[in-house]
Chains A and B, each alone.
Chain A
């Protein structure tokens, strides 16, 4: 019986122009979204490859110059010496700390076009490298780019509503419902059949198109945890769809006319998908404002000026903090420009820290507020889940920045002793390199799982309530 209803729904839906218009719009939107995603990942990949090539070329040049100096035995200015740890660690030999595109990046650009995905690591102060590019990045909740995630979050519900808003009211208005319900079949069986077929068509389309996106976008299907990510992506699309189908079923169960149902559903979409996310955005940035970029730059500038003016004094206190770096010749050490610079950078970092801390604290507070508020809007839940799965969300970026911080410390840990020992860089191969470690898939799965539960619960409640209301559906009148 159920299969027969599915087959019937397919024949009537197929004969209706709405499905084909909806399918056409959907196919074009998905195609365009996927194309955008693939293009953005290609752009990122090219940029990273360019940076890697630049670094390689620079290091080849350094090696060449060292060879030349050794061969000719010629003199070289201390400021241009490619063997000086201060030069290599600072101006000449920075290496890039790069965040590769997320495992499913072509599917959701997410925040990856807002957040920096590579840093040039040197002995410079952390804030010069990191925070200056990061500060006051809007924590955008609205999707900026037209990618597959945008299509899924914004258009997919609209299309679901377009094919379901009148699934019962149209039959009632056309008069077929009475004839159907004079047969030994429950209204809930009919509604379940209608929704199942529509869900198969729409969810199927999104999943197939995601698959095409992955194939075109050159996603490495062998990378660890990719199977789980894909499974969760499919689950997210299905659960998000279920939310909207349940909402449509609930509204249908009230037995209002097609026009009323359409108005109610369109308003729900507008509030849940468009208005709430921007309201949340406004709320968190108002309640937890981040310090302005101007303030940050000003703080850095003042700190730099103050620190530079106190150069040797700072070096003295630096020695107090790091006695292990002290060498025999204290007099000469106190006038060494490179050592002073290490101490100055260290001091700048210390002075700017309160501003940075305030910024980071606000960002954490914003994120925490969003983490709570997201349960009020399926669109925000879905956005966070898809970004997480694609590897283009804020969590993976924070994970990256933490690694960059560690790498920066490692970098200075390598060069500072060399500077204080007035040693030379003997082998460029020993200069630390950055390698990004992907987040544990288990942690992502847990976060996404919570979001999906946040979608599934209201979907189930609306669905059950709607189905139970169908018992009292006004077939006539």
Chain B
């Protein structure tokens, strides 16, 4: 479960995020929409404690991320726009290392290969150096790391931007499977189509403020786009 309470961040007098209050329950996929600089990435960085909040709190599983950063990171996985891995190591070696950092150093090779299969990566890719991977493959490794970690919350920062439609679709399927298993997902995205497809709720952000929250079942694709553009005009 992800919770933000009056979460605020100022950068040198500029408000990047203004009093965000938000809860993402297990099984929910909350999509943050908004222009560049609206505060989506700031929100995710605050949840990861990569930046310190000016005021308010962010909590994962009910634990404050500033007070117990290492504890909260046991329950959360992070997938950035491009999952950057150690290019000189193989996919499997990367997965093994990140799983070990996540507190799971005990996986056998077969178990690790199982995670690769689960996210739809071909068996021979596991032993290839990551330097040769496509972006779609890297994002899948990101999911594999999250699964291996057993994360109960997932933070995604525009994970499908630049993916071809097929890869993007595969990625969304994986996301769906994770959320079905009770993972709370917070995803920043520009992709309205993906947000409608895989999200349960969407939130529209503007100049650091969450201006609207809707369930994705409230309207169709075209309605969402219209609604979004309406908020962007002013």
Residues of chain A whose beta carbon lies under 8 Å from any beta carbon of chain B: 1, 4-5, 8, 11-12, 15-16, 174-176, 178-186, 475-477
Contacts and interface: CB of A to CB of B under 8 A. Distances in A.
Nearest to A16: B88
A180 B101 contact: yes
Most chain A CB inside 10 Å of its own CB: which residue of B74, B83, B84: B84
16 contacts: A4-B100, A8-B86, A11-B89, A12-B89, A15-B89, A178-B78, A179-B142, A180-B98, A182-B48, A182-B77, A183-B101, A184-B71, A184-B103, A186-B70, A475-B45, A477-B51
B104 to A, nearest CB: 10
Given A12-B86, A186-B70, A179 B98 contact: yes
Contacts of A16: 88
Interface of B: 45, 48, 50-51, 70-71, 73-74, 76-78, 80, 82-89, 93, 97-98, 100-103, 105, 142, 145, 149, 155
Contacts of B77: 182
B135 to A, nearest CB: 12
A4 B101 contact: yes
Contacts of B84: 174-176, 178-179
Given A15-B89, A184-B103, A476-B51, A179 B71 contact: no
Contacts of A180: 98, 101
A475 B101 CA distance: 17
Nearest to B101: A183
B58 to A, nearest CB: 14
Contacts of B82: 175
Given A182-B73, A183-B98, A476-B50, 9 more contacts: A1-B100, A4-B105, A8-B86, A11-B88, A175-B80, A175-B82, A179-B83, A182-B77, A182-B78
A180 B145 CA distance: 11
B12 to A, nearest CB: 12
Contacts of A181: 48, 50
B149 to A, nearest CB: 8
B48 A184 contact: no
Nearest to B77: A182
Contact of A184 (B73, B87, B88, B155): B73
Nearest to A473: B50
A267 to B, nearest CB: 29
Contact of B70 (A12, A176, A184, A476): A184
Contacts of B98: 179-180, 183
B17 to A, nearest CB: 14
Contacts of A183: 73, 98, 101-103, 149
Contacts of A5: 101
A52 to B, nearest CB: 59
Contacts of B145: 179
Nearest to A175: B84
A183 B80 CA distance: 13
Q: Which 10 A-B pairs rank lowest in CB-CB distance, beginning with the nearest?
A: A175-B84, A15-B88, A182-B78, A183-B101, A475-B50, A184-B73, A184-B70, A4-B100, A184-B74, A476-B50
A368 B174 CA distance: 73
B148 to A, nearest CB: 11
A477 B98 CA distance: 23
Contacts of A475: 45, 48, 50-51
A184 B93 contact: no
A186 B84 CA distance: 19
Contacts of A179: 78, 80, 83-85, 98, 142, 145
A11 B93 contact: yes
Contacts of A12: 86, 88-89
Most buried by B among A1, A11, A182: A182
A168 to B, nearest CB: 14
Nearest to B81: A175
A181 B76 CA distance: 11
Contacts of B101: 1, 4-5, 180, 183-185
Contacts of B149: 183
Contacts of A182: 48, 73, 76-78, 155
Contacts of B142: 179
Contact of A4 (B70, B78, B97): B97
A115 B216 CA distance: 87
Contacts of B89: 11-12, 15
A412 B222 CA distance: 114
Nearest to A185: B101
Interface centre among B83, B85, B86, B98 (most CB of A within 10 A): B86
A452 B110 CA distance: 51
Contacts of B83: 179
Contacts of B74: 184
Q: Which of A5, A176, A180, A183 has the most CB of B within 10 A?
A: A183
Given A8-B97, A11-B93, A184 B102 contact: yes
A275 B73 CA distance: 47
Contacts of A185: 70, 73, 101
